């Protein structure tokens, strides 16, 4: 049987996707919309004010039909993420939102990266990756994935050494794009429907496309990876979003 690789966990992550019910939004009176915008602005400001020692937050508009907004949270406490979910639900603007998708996970790094170090030393060395500040890049791509468990292509029945070599080659491709694309891997075994979440940040969506396409030819992906839906968001400031909501009245 395959031998599991130990991991080091960092902050929790919540990818909170929302869809705007435009019919409901336009049915509100101008006064109701104004109050909803004011309370939404205050709520987003509170998310943005999270201490760098406790978490980070990013707001995105999603391209395509799958959602309209992504509220991306990293936080050291899962209870804080639950509170943020419910704060959106309870807000005035929340009455005009539905929730087509969400994903809960925790930042995960393999102990391969910490060979020869105690866990505490590894945490200090890898702290920036375990406690990620969301980079100020224009685009965010998120997708969940599993490692395949089919016949000869069963990731969990391969040896630890084989998996290490496969992921080493996988990492070589990723390193080619490290200046253009920032990656955060989160683990979700037992936390959500898939095994991992992958979040990519870049100023150029084509760089994300090229990275993912090239990795499809790597054995770790070609033989062993199954992918869920892909979501692409564009970073937006809260004031820009509020202006878009105001324009929706016209």
d(CA 130, CA 104): 16
User: What is the rounded CA–CA span in Å between residue 237 and residue 215?
Assistant: 32
pLDDT score recorded for residue 173: 87
Determine the Cα–Cα distance for residues 93 and 77; give it in Å rounded to an integer: 25
Q: Which two tokens stand for residue 138?
A: 């224009």
Give the pLDDT of residue 40. Answer: 96
| Residue 129 CA neighbour count, 13 Å, CB half | 18
Provide the pLDDT for residue 119.
67
In whole angstroms, give the CA distance from residue 151 to residue 146. 15
State the CB neighbour count (10 A cutoff) for residue 86.
11
- What pLDDT score does 115 carry? 62
pLDDT, one tens digit per residue, over 48-99 is 999 999 999 999 999 999 999 999 999 999 999 999 999 999 999 999 999 9
Distances (CA, A) of 192 to 25, 71, 102, 146: 31, 17, 9, 11
* pLDDT value, residue 171: 83
Please state the separation of Cα 66 from the chain's center in Å: 15
Helix-helix angle 78-90:30-48, to 10 degrees: 170
pLDDT at 133: 96
Instruction: Kindly report, residue by residue over 10-29, the tens digit of the pLDDT.
Output: 999 999 999 999 999 999 99
- How does DSSP classify residue 158? S
Under a CB-based contact definition with an 8 Å cutoff, are residues 50 and 56 in contact?
Answer: yes
What was the pLDDT predicted at 207? Answer: 97
Residue 144 backbone dihedrals phi, psi, to 5 degrees: -90, 160
Taken in order of first residue, the domains within the chain and their CATH numbers are 7-247 (3.30.70.1030)
| Catalytic positions, written as ranges | 143
Q: What is the CA radius of gyration of the chain?
A: 20
| Calpha distance 59→67 (Å, rounded) | 13
Q: For the chain, 250 residues long, give each residue's pLDDT as a single digit of tens.
A: 567 778 889 999 999 999 999 999 999 999 999 999 999 999 999 999 999 999 999 999 999 999 999 999 999 999 999 999 999 999 999 999 999 999 999 999 887 665 656 667 667 768 889 999 999 999 999 999 999 999 889 988 988 888 888 888 888 888 899 999 999 999 999 999 999 999 999 999 999 999 999 999 998 899 999 999 999 999 999 999 988 887 665 5
Q: Which residues pair with 8 in a beta bridge?
A: 109
Give CA separation, 228 vs 19, 106, 142, 196, 213, in Å. Answer: 19, 18, 10, 10, 15
């Amino acid at each position: 049987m395959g031998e599991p690789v130990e991991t080091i966990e960092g902050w929790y992550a919540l990818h909170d996707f929302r869809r705007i019910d435009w019919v409901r939004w336009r049915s509100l009176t101008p006064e109701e919309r104004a109050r909803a915008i004011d309370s939404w602005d205050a709520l987003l400001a509170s998310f943005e004010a999270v201490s760098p020692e406790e978490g980070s937050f990013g707001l995105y508009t999603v391209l395509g039909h799958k959602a309209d907004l992504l509220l991306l949270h990293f936080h050291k406490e899962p209870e804080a993420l639950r509170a943020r979910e419910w704060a959106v639900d309870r807000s005035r603007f929340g009455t005009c939102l539905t929730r087509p998708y969400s994903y809960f996970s925790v930042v995960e790094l393999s102990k391969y990266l910490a060979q020869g170090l105690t866990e505490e030393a590894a945490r200090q060395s890898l702290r920036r990756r375990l406690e990620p500040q969301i980079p100020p890049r224009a685009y965010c791509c998120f997708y969940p994935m599993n490692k395949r468990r089919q016949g000869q292509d069963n990731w969990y029945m391969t040896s630890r050494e084989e998996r290490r070599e496969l992921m080493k080659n996988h990492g070589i491709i990723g390193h080619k794009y490290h200046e253009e694309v920032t990656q955060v891997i989160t683990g979700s075994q037992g936390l959500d429907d898939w095994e991992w979440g992958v979040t990519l940040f870049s100023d150029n969506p084509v760089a994300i496309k090229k990275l993912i396409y090239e990795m499809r030819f790597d054995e770790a992906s070609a033989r062993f990876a199954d992918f869920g839906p892909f979501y692409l968001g564009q970073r937006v400031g809260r004031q820009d979003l509020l202006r878009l909501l105001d324009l929706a009245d016209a």
